[in-house]
Amino acid sequence: MNTIEIKPDIYWVGAIDWAVRDFHGYITPNGTTYNNYLILDKDITLVDTVKYDFAEFGLTNIRSLVDPSEIKNIIINHIENDHMSALDRIMELAPNAVIYTSVRGKEGMARFFDTSGWNIKTVKTGDEINTGKYNLMFIETPMIHWPDSMMTYIKEAQLLISQDAFGQHYASTSRFDDEFVKNASLAELEDATVDYYANILMPFGKLIKTKIKQILDMGIPLDMIAPDHGLIWRKNPDKALKMYTDMASGKTNLKVAIIFDTMWHSTEIMTQPIMLGVRDEGVDCKVIKLRATPMSVAIKEFWKSRGCLVGSPTLNNEVFPSVAEFTTHLKGLRPKDRITGAFGSYGWGGGAVKWLYNEFRQMKLADFEPGVQVQYRPSSEDLEKCYDFGRDFAKRVKEYHKEFE
């Protein structure tokens, strides 16, 4: 049996996906989990489903506890495929179940399934259902992660089922934060939480801040936060709330990420004196080559740093393709509260550095112009320019960082 009772008569019945490495374009070196929860109360209630590929796996878990035909209520907190795509399979077995979801959830559900015979009730923030000994309250969280998103708070268990929010893409034998910290480390848990936020929720910081405040203002006790991916925050739900509040408020490390790609190593050679210049200003620095690094890791390292220098050679008067891919990802994530600069090498016409600053301007990131460029191969004079550029950038980053302290 692969179920776990997380609160009295409330079970994790999800699936661990050890193998997934590309999650709709987000590279997941550690796999993920599709968490969903079964409440064995008078009215048996399923909260969310699993990704369709794992439907039978999830059903085996449910069957180990109850006949699926006995499910009375199904709550769909979020209609994205990884949370809802097994719903039709559940509905085949429990056709009379009542589905609870948001208005946008109901509209979206009809785009995925033929819902004509389904009993779907829409709910909004503050609405409640009773399952017997438990009262479940819904909290709409639009754009965390999609417009339909909501959370379910189980009052008597003081349990918040938070769908995407507070999750991690991490396959593990651990189901709880404290278990994971014991088996791996707190640093790894934090890193996975930041990775998830950076790659999925970065655009929605303002909404996240407002929503967390709204939840805290409701005065509801939070003993446990159970997301639909990764670890359940059993030991330290306050840590999850604080990490999200901090990230949504622009807090990050006084650090510089140097993210680059290279053709004939000239741009790569430039990274070394730039890194030394940053380091000599007392600022930590990480150098990341794009074609040697999963995109999600590059995005995470960007997010974990107050400053980012992007390096690109010029290819056919354009930026290098892998660098363009990085800035395309970044632009969609609408980053804030970071400072950027650019560097690169060229043969004759140039263009990559100018292109990068144009991107930074479009993203409204505080930038540091004019950057540094070298022709063909960096000379010793060029290397000194690179060192000074790194130092000057680090000075500017330190100044900018003070605004967030």
Pairing of strands 159-161, 224-226: parallel
Query: Which of these ranges, 80-88, 188-196, 232-240, 308-316, lies near ligand FEO under the rule CB under 6 A?
Result: 80-88
The answer to whether the CB of 143 falls within 8 A of the CB of 165 is no
Pick 146 or 387: Cβ nearer ligand FEO: 146
For the segment 152-191, give every residue that binds ligand FEO (CB under 6 A): 164
If one asks whether residue 140 binds ligand FEO (CB under 6 A), the answer comes out as no
Query: If DSSP states are collapsed to H, E and C, what string results for 349-405?
Result: CCCHHHHHHHHHHHCCCEECCCCEEEECCCCHHHHHHHHHHHHHHHHHHHHHHHCCC
Residue 251 DSSP class = -
Residue 82 near ligand FEO by CB under 6 A? yes
Q: Would you count residue 41 as binding ligand FEO (CB under 6 A)?
A: no
| Residue 79 C-beta: closest distance to ligand FEO, Å | 9
Is the preceding omega at residue 237 within 30 degrees of 0, hence cis? no
Q: How far is the CB of 164 from ligand FEO (least distance, A)?
A: 4
Q: CA 355, 358, 362, 365 torsion: positive or negative?
A: positive
Q: Which is nearer to ligand FEO, 22 or 369 (CB)?
A: 22
**Among candidate residues 102, 115, 116, the one with its CA nearest the CA of residue 149:** 102
Asked whether the beta carbons of 88 and 95 are under 8 A apart, the reply is no
82: annotated active-site residue = yes
Q: Cα 121–93–55 angle (5° rounding)?
A: 95
Closest CA to 368 of 395, 342, 345, 391: 342
Q: How far is the CB of 313 from ligand FEO (least distance, A)?
A: 36
> What tokens appear for 72 in the block?
């009375």
The residue assigned the tokens 């709709």 is: 24
Q: Is the peptide bond before 370 cis (omega within 30 degrees of 0)?
A: yes
Q: Which of 14, 45, 48, 83 binds ligand FEO (CB under 6 A)?
A: 83
Q: Which CB, 164 or 382, lies closer to ligand FEO?
A: 164
CA distance 332 to 202: 9
- Choice among 17, 34, 100, 145 that is catalytic: 145
The two counts, helices (H) then strands (E), for the chain are: 13, 24
Q: Indicate which residue of 17, 41, 197, 229 is catalytic.
A: 229
Tell me the per-residue interface mask from 185 to 204 with ligand FEO, x by CB under 6 A, - otherwise.
--------------------
Exactly one of 17, 41, 80, 281 binds ligand FEO (CB under 6 A); that residue is 80
Per CB under 6 A, the segment of 68-76, 79-87, 113-121, 256-264 that binds ligand FEO is 79-87
- Regarding 396 and contact with ligand FEO (CB under 6 A), the answer is no
Q: Determine the residue type at 82.
A: D
The answer to whether 305 and 255 are in contact (CB under 8 A) is yes
Whether 26 is a known active-site residue: answer no
From 99, 102, 156, 98, select the one nearest 125 (Cα to Cα): 102
Catalytic residue among 153, 170, 196, 387: 196
Radius of gyration (C-alpha) of the chain in whole angstroms:
24
Among 7, 72, 106, 145, binds ligand FEO (CB under 6 A): 145
Length of the chain: 405
Rounded CA gap, 285 and 253, in Å? 10
Active site residue 78: yes
Nearest distance, CB of residue 169 and ligand FEO, angstroms: 9
**Residue from 37, 41, 78, 367 carrying the catalytic annotation:** 78
- Name the minimum Å distance from CB 24 to ligand FEO: 9
Catalytic-role residue among 17, 164, 195, 268: 164
User: Mask of contacts with ligand FEO, 209-228, x by CB under 6 A?
Assistant: -------------------x
Measured from the CB atom, is 51 or 304 closer to ligand FEO?
51
Q: Is 17 in the site for ligand FEO (CB under 6 A)?
A: no
Name the catalytic one among 17, 41, 82, 382. Answer: 82
Annotated catalytic residue 164: yes
Instruction: Check residue 300 for interaction with ligand FEO (CB under 6 A).
Output: no
The question of whether 196 is a catalytic residue gets the answer yes
> Contact residues for ligand FEO (CB under 6 A)?
78, 80, 82-83, 145-146, 164, 228-229
Provide the annotated active-site residues. 24, 78, 80, 82, 145, 164, 196, 229
